[in-house]
Amino acid sequence: MIGAEHLIAFNLTLLAAIASPGPALLFLVRTTMAKGRAAGVAAAFGLGLMAALWTGAALLGLDALFTLFPWAYLAVKIVGATYLIWVAVQVWRSAHEPVHEGSATAQSKFFRQGMLINLGNPKSVLFAAAVIAVIFPADLSPTAKAIIFGNHLAIEWLIQPTLAVLLSTEAVRRRYLGAKFITDRIAAGVLGALGLRLLADR
């Protein structure tokens, strides 16, 4: 049985992971500032759903499957790293272009992109498995696993969209627009480096 103390410890770990610099946070920041609040919120929901799904996969034992079949982990990692590098190239090429607000009909695209960014990092399932093993008792029941997954999704869908809303304030966006070319090139460089690091990581 899991208690409140387990969920509190898990949620504190989640908050630290969400705030840590990485492709997910960088994608959320750049999407929100370049495409506006609605696009950022849509991307946030996509990022959050995939992050929670990785935890669900860990609860179902996908980490053990990756250990048993290293080629599966390698395949996911290569696809994910390639996608990160592709996003980096697109951001680099669009650095000189003016900002265009994402239309309401385009929000599903940003949602999918958010999911793909987190889908491309198979280390997330290994991280989730390690956190679950440390925080929660062994032999979790199906109900406990469902609570952990639902809790993770709720935290992601509360924090990520809130962050997008905060980033979309006029003062923050004005500063971004004043240095869009430089910040986009930096963002592209970091995303590309993260993709290459994921490829090289053993």
According to the model, what pLDDT value does residue 158 have?
Answer: 96
Residue bearing tokens 């680099």: 92
Q: What angle do CA 68, 74, 80 make, to 5 degrees?
A: 135
Q: Is the pLDDT of residue 202 over 70?
A: no
Q: Is the pLDDT of residue 104 over 60?
A: no
CB 148 within 8 A of CB 132: yes
For the entire predicted model, the pTM comes to 0.81
Q: Percent of the chain, pLDDT > 90?
A: 30
Segment 124-162, tens digit of pLDDT: 888 888 888 888 887 889 999 999 999 999 999 999 999
According to the model, what pLDDT value does residue 111 have?
Answer: 96
* pLDDT level of residue 2 (50, 70, 90 thresholds): confident
Q: Is the pLDDT of residue 73 over 70?
A: yes
Q: Is the pLDDT of residue 110 over 90?
A: yes
| Interval 79-107 mean pLDDT | 74
DSSP 106: G
Lowest mean pLDDT among 24-33, 36-45, 118-127, 138-147: 118-127
**Cβ burial 29-50 (10 Å sphere, 16+ → b, else e):** bbbbbbbbbbbbbbbbbbbbbb
According to the model, what pLDDT value does residue 162 have?
Answer: 95
Distance of CA 39 to the CA centre of its chain: 15
